[in-house]
Amino acid sequence: MVSAELHLGVAIDGAGFHPAAWRVSAAEPAALFTSGHYLKYAKQAEAASLDFVTLDDSLALQSGGEGVVRGRLDALLTLSAIAPATSRIGLVPTVTTTHTEPFHVSTSVATLDYASGGRAGVLAVPSLTDAEAAHFGRRRAPSPQDGEAETAEVLDVITRLWDSWEDDAIIRDAATGRFIDREKLHYVDFEGRFFSVKGPSITPRPPQGHPVTAVYGDSPHAVGADLVITRADHLDAVRAAAARFPGAKVLATVSIVLAETEQGARDRQHELDALVPFEPVGLSFVGTPAQLAAELPRWAAETGVAGFHLRPAVLPDDLDLLAGEVVPALRAAGAFRDGYRGETLRDHLGLGRAVNAYAVTPGA
Amino acid sequence: MTKQIKLAAHFPGVNNTTVWSDPASGSQIDFASFEHLARTAERGKFDFLFLAEGLRLREHAGKILDSDVVGRPNTTTVLAALSAVTTHLGLAGTLSSTFNEPYEVARQVASIDHLSGGRAAWNVVTSPDAWTGKNFRRGGFLKREDRYARAEEFLATVRELWDSWQPGTLVGDKENGVFARDPGKFVHSGQQFDIHGEFTLPRTPQGQPIVIQAGDSDEGREFAAKAADVIFSRHGSLEDGQAFFHDVKRRLAAYGREYGELLIMPAATFVLGDTDAEAEEHAREIRLQQVRPATAIQFLEQVWSRDLSGYDVDGPLPEVDPDPDAEPLTWGRVRHEKDQLALARKWRALAEEKKLSIRELVIEATARQQFVGTPSTVASTIDEYVQSDAADGFVLVPHLTPGGLDEFVDKVVPLLQERGVFRTEYAGTTLREQLF
């Protein structure tokens, strides 16, 4: 079966998606708090020409006790630290929306876009727990419904702030002594349910115009973005999610445990689960690289998703097999491109030029 | 004993010090500009690079100010990215204690410290006005008199968070399955912040990242003496510098701190030339570019709070007094002098004494370069300031982006090294090791 080309992102958190991953991974625990650890995996994903890497984030410590990885670096800053050392891979950090300032979120994502030459995205998530609220002491944890509504508002206002400078606002006209044409800067004057922001941004419009916005599309309150990641755990639910966001690129999360034989993969999973029992979110795949390369195009065709957000159980083991065997097999089947065709993350995802809501000239 | 000089590089800012109209002036926003300055500073064995923070675009007479550089990136994001292209240079940035919260500042600075292997520094500032607050959820809720109370408690809280993972918390025992024991627990109950929970980052390579305080007021000096590693001050004459230096250093004992535990680093501009006369001439040209006619009127209007657009910049100062009751015409530009009438009197006296026009007065009052001369003159002047306790070092502010530091590093740094007052190699890997 000839299928459409898939979009593929990969999570490079910690020692892998499985909570016992750190115990079997070659990585030293202390390395999880260094940039070199993440750079290595990002370069591996880039060598395989994947669309992007993601890093999770939260303003609370991971739960699970002393047997699991606890503690993590700020995701956006970590991907900023690897941006200058990579050249094509998209960089999509999770950024929280409840206790953070939308203005800072906007400028930090724009700046990641500058530092990476147009490869930034942002996976916006609310902070719904009491633990996170107690770290700030300013408000209670919102209901899931309000948290999602506020996230939508944050995505709305950060996009307006990116647009608040037209692309050609900087004129450096020495003759008239004007650095900018202030007619091309715009107050956003955003008044929402949760906050208000005056604008304009302090940061000129980023290289992509709009860095790629992403949300998880699982909750019934979720609203769309450029990219919607569904963590549904069976194909019918994935299909339903894809249908709910017709204007977005919908990707399905798949946790992967790979080995050269099916039995080997099952043994690996049992070994991990024996250390720390785990029910991964999203679709789950345990098997050989060839089987995964056969399943992904089939799942995409059956559900209508544009691709997958892959979560390797153990880093680097499952990423090695993904990059080294799954991707070549997908290419051989015509289900994944041979290399990068563009420079920016929007290019990789086929999102097209972002139109500036304030510009008089469409597309400017 | 000969003191070792500390040097930092300030990325050119969004004020009229930065000459954007020069053909050699590059992008103020492309990452390549930040990388260029950082690599130059590191080549010169500088202690750290310094980035200011933007919170709202400046306005004058109700419009966005278009005559100076406009637009800058997010501070922490650039610093994190610079960690990838440098190995020893300290990475310092301003983060407001008003429009951020302790947990997120502690986390961002600690993240940069981890990512850079111990090179992070945070400049604590306060920003009390409601005008800036229009861009933030928090608004301008802070009263001016409360700003140091908040800043002090903010810093204390951040330090508690940085200390929250005790040594040995991160166990990393794969065999027995113990990653971390009791990580990051904290409780802070104070007037400004009432928070508790768990901090998400292990103790950083520096333990406590470097803390900088900028502010010349009495409260600011006390705050720095109590809690900061570096004070980022304004530059003045040798005598003014010595008075400031001794005033700040004498305050340290009350907090049980040694003389050398707080470094005084004024911001300073410089202009180099092959001869002192050539440098003076070059400096004069730069001042004329920094204070163009429109800029001169803006500065005057900032103090007068009146429309002075009808005045001739090459003529005398207005006879009319400032209007102290009027709404400020300028927003977002630092105003060091709070009493407008007193400042106007001072400016008038200066103009009269030296027979200065409006433009010449503004140049004299706001845009005099500090170190002007041959590399040899500048090296010996900087050394004199440091050896005679007017400063511990300087935060150099180039007037060109991004190449404005190149000449200093190529020509002045070797002379300081020959004098034996500036390092030829980095000592250790962390910023704390460079500074102390």
A337 Cα to chain B: minimum distance (Å): 29
The CA distance from A252 to A284, in Å, is 11
Structure tokens at B90: 């300290």
- For residue A2, pLDDT beyond 80: no
pLDDT in tens, A350-359: 998 899 999 8
Which pLDDT does position B426 carry in this prediction? 97
Q: How far apart are the first and last CA of chain B?
A: 16
Contacts of A19 in chain B (CB under 8 A): none
B384 Cα to chain A: minimum distance (Å): 38
A286 Cα to chain B: minimum distance (Å): 24
The answer to whether B81 faces chain A, any CB pair under 8 Å, is yes
Closest by Cβ to B135, choosing from A71, A77, A199: A199
A302 Cα to chain B: minimum distance (Å): 40
Across chain A, how many H-helices and E-strands are there? 12, 13
The CA distance from A300 to A235, in Å, is 9
Which pLDDT does position A151 carry in this prediction? 96
Residue type at A336?
A: F
- For residue A198, pLDDT beyond 50: yes
Q: List, in order, residues 6 or more apart from B37 with CB less than 8 Å away.
A: B9, B11, B49, B398, B401, B402, B404, B405
Length of chain A: 364
Q: Which of A27-36, A164-173, A181-190, B302-311 has the lowest mean pLDDT?
A: B302-311
Contacts of A276 in chain B (CB under 8 A): 177
CB contact under 8 A, B114 and A69: no
Work out the average pLDDT over A162-169.
Answer: 97
- Which residue is it, tokens 């004098």? B419
The answer to whether B104 faces chain A, any CB pair under 8 Å, is yes
Nearest Cα neighbor of B393 from B436, B350, B355, B332 is: B436
Q: List, in order, residues 6 or more apart from A228 with CB less than 8 Å away.
A: A214, A215, A216, A217, A222, A241, A245, A248, A249, A250, A251
The CA distance from A165 to A186, in Å, is 7
Determine contact, residues B116/B210, Cβ cutoff 8 Å.
Answer: no
Which pLDDT does position B141 carry in this prediction? 66
The CA distance from A328 to A338, in Å, is 9
Residue B172: closest C-alpha in chain A: A29
Residue B420: which region, alpha, beta or left (left: phi > 0; alpha: psi -120 to 50)? left
Which pLDDT does position A1 carry in this prediction? 41
CA–CA distances in Å: residue B4 to residues A273, B8, B348, B378, B387: 57, 13, 41, 16, 9
CB contact under 8 A, B77 and A172: no
- For residue A243, pLDDT beyond 50: yes
Closest by Cβ to A35, choosing from B83, B165, B194: B83
Work out the average pLDDT over B53-57.
Answer: 95
Interface list for B 125-144 with A (CB within 8 A): 134-138
The answer to whether B73 faces chain A, any CB pair under 8 Å, is yes
B128 phi/psi in degrees, rounded to 5: -85, -10
Work out the average pLDDT over A14-25.
Answer: 97
Burial class, B424, CB count within 10 angstroms (exposed 0-12 / middle 13-18 / buried 19+): exposed
Determine contact, residues A324/A312, Cβ cutoff 8 Å.
Answer: no
A327 Cα to chain B: minimum distance (Å): 28
CB contact under 8 A, A101 and B201: no
Q: Which of A59, A77, A183 to mutate to test the interface with B (most CBs of B within 10 A)?
A: A77
Which pLDDT does position B329 carry in this prediction? 85
CB contact under 8 A, B200 and A58: yes
Name the band, by pLDDT with cuts 50, 70 and 90, for residue A364.
very low
Exposure string of B153-178, with b = 16+ CB inside 10 Å and e = fewer, is: bbbbbbbbbbebbeeebbeeebeebb
Closest by Cβ to A81, choosing from B80, B177, B178: B80
CB contact under 8 A, B71 and A136: no
Q: Which of B20, B64, B74, B91 to mutate to test the interface with A (most CBs of A within 10 A)?
A: B74
Counting one residue from A and one from B, how many pairs have CB atoms under 8 Å apart?
A: 215
Residue B30: closest C-alpha in chain A: A114
Closest by Cβ to B201, choosing from A71, A103, A194: A71
Nearest Cα neighbor of A91 from A212, A1, A220, A208 is: A212
pLDDT in tens, B76-110: 999 999 999 999 999 999 999 989 999 999 999 99
For chain B, give the mean pLDDT. Answer: 94
Nearest Cα neighbor of B235 from B66, B144, B97, B370 is: B370
